[in-house]
Amino acid sequence: MNIDKRLLSEAKAVRVGFILTITLGFLGGVATVLQARYVSDIVNDAFLEHATLVRLQPLFLILLLVIGARSLFIWGGNIAANSVAGTVKQTLREKLFAHIVALGPTYASGERTGELTNTVVEGIEELNAYFSQYLPQLVLAALVPLTVLFFVFPRDPLSGLVLLLTAPLIPVFMVLIGYLADALTKRQWRSLSRMSAHFLDMLQGLTTLKILGRSREQIDTIAEISDRFRHTTLSVLRVAFLSALVLELVATISTAVVAVEVGLRLLYGHMVFREAFFVLLLAPEFYLPLRMLGTRFHAGMSGVAAAKRIFEILETPLPVSVFPAVNDAPPLRMDIHFQNVYFAYEGGGRPALQGVSFRIPPGEKVALVGPTGAGKSSIAHLLLRFIEPDQGEISVNGVPLGAFRADVWRQRVAWVPQRPYLFHDSVVANIRVGRPYANRAEVLRAARLAHVHEFVASLPAGYDTIIGEQGTRFSGGQAQRIALARAFLKNAPLLILDEATSNLDPEIEALVQEATSSLMEGRSVLIIAHHLSTIYQADQIVVLNRGRVVESGQHAALLRRGGLYQQLVTAYGGGV
């Protein structure tokens, strides 16, 4: 059976709704038995006992009430089941999204965005049928047939025995075919995830593909992936149709066996018509829940296949600090120490930092330089609490960084990345990401400091202009200045600049450098630098190579030393 204990644990939060679904389904089964009882009574009295319409009228009224009650039970059961599924989906989607956010960009960057999106959206939706159909039917497939047997055995033990012996045939065939479909269903889900991921990659890289003249080839690639998914889906459907055929055949033959043995006994006078007709009416209803379980078995398989990936993400451990959290908020003036810090990606398989030690004194600017892969971004991610050190310690005014709650700490940090992300929203909303509750005047002030106001004011809708997904309507320099405006608006005591002046024209760069210099005053600043014009502002330069600090000091002193820093400056013609 497709039972996942982790999914069952999610259902505990909605146990009341689940119990209501089962109860209404069970009452519907009881109503079915009563309906068969009154139908058999009416037919027997009308055709064999020649009862008048006046005599039959009470039976007709009761039958109508039973039919109405059965309809209400079925309707109420469906409503309750869908409510259960909707609640579980909402809770699980929120939990999954919150966990991905908590894992941070380091985790997300190692996964395909399209695949994660497919898991959060389509993966959760796959659970709808699992909770609204499969799980309730799994219980009803036992309760309803037992209810039928409870009424049949006292009236006709032989028919009850036939029903009891033939009932297990349907679950047995269902499980046997289910094993065949299990691998196909998992392959179908993996194929869908790959197709979603690849399609999103193509959309995001469409400009590059067009420029390089490779867009037509990707149409063929998408067609190939889609065709592979089609073949996998058809394989699953073939098994599903085969399963339905076998289960219907078994149920039909079993019903025929009951009909034959009842008919023969009725023919030879060993059974009265009323009881024979009652059993014949109930025989199809006896197998119906089992057949429905077989039909919904595939929905259960799809849900379990999707849940495997969902819980794989949820069970990915979060970065854990070894220090107990403190109640105090981080200080406004920061003296930050890196002391023999080690960190490696991929569970230790890819070292990034190896014994890094340096200091960011209060109100000073420290620049990190070094070749690609030296560990600069890893240091920034450690300060942003996206990751935690494997060894060593990062302290703030003598207090371990890990002792502060990550969300509280990040309120004290402003980050301007090299490639800022702009959301599909207005300009003012994108700037307010830095401080969501800032008023319009504060946003305009930050925009002026970042030299955003001039070009935004010229837009038709001004600050209410929709930027477009990933800022596609703005140039790189304009996007960079909006990111700077976020930092101005946040006004945090620690500022991390990942080459904040990249992609700017020389004239605008000079203006932004001036504004950035005023923003840096009185704050601890970490600059991940690539241009000498940025490095000149630093009070200290830390040179990294292969995850280690190889030099530190000021620009002139490092040049005289003739080490790696001097080689970088020479090799890149003034850029490091």
Q: Smallest Cα–Cα separation from 195: which of 157, 231, 239?
A: 231
Which of 65, 63, 69, 68 has the alpha carbon at shortest distance from 42? 63
What is the three-state SS of 112-159?
A: CHHHHHHHHHHHHHCHHHHHHHHHHHHHHHHHHHHHHHHHHHHHCHHH
Cβ atoms of 531 and 500 closer than 8 Å: no
338: tokens are 């890196």
Q: How far apart are the first and last CA of the chain?
A: 61
The residues, any chain, with a CB within 8 Å of residue 129's CB and separated by 6 or more, are 85, 296, 299, 300, 302, 303
Give the Cα separation of 255 and 275 in Å (integer). 16
Strand pairing class (350-360; 336-345): antiparallel
Cα(575)–Cα(376) distance, rounded to whole angstroms? 16
Pairing relation of β-strands 391-396 and 399-400? Answer: antiparallel
Task: List, in sequence order, the alpha helices (H) in 268-356.
Answer: 273-314
Nearest-angstrom CA–CA distance, 91 and 87 = 6
Sign of the torsion angle spanned by Cα atoms 30, 75, 288, 64: positive
pTM greater than 0.85 (yes/no): no
Domains of the chain in start order, with CATH, are 5-314 (1.20.1560.10)
List all residues 6 or more positions away from 230 whose beta carbon is below 8 Å from its beta carbon: none
E strands in 230-385: 336-345, 350-360, 365-369
pLDDT per residue rounded down to tens, the chain (576 residues): 556 778 888 878 888 988 999 999 999 999 999 999 999 989 988 888 888 888 889 999 999 999 999 999 999 999 999 999 889 888 888 888 888 888 877 776 666 666 777 777 777 888 888 888 888 888 888 899 999 999 989 888 988 888 888 888 777 776 766 666 666 676 766 776 676 666 666 666 665 665 556 666 666 777 777 777 777 777 767 777 777 777 778 888 888 888 898 888 888 888 889 888 999 998 888 888 888 887 777 767 777 777 888 888 888 887 766 555 565 667 778 889 999 999 988 777 788 899 999 999 888 889 998 888 888 888 988 998 888 898 899 998 888 888 888 888 888 888 888 778 888 888 888 888 888 888 888 888 888 888 888 888 888 888 888 887 666 677 777 788 888 888 888 888 898 888 656 556 666 666 667 767 767 777 888 988 766 666 777 889 999 988 899 988 888 888 888 888 888 877 765 545
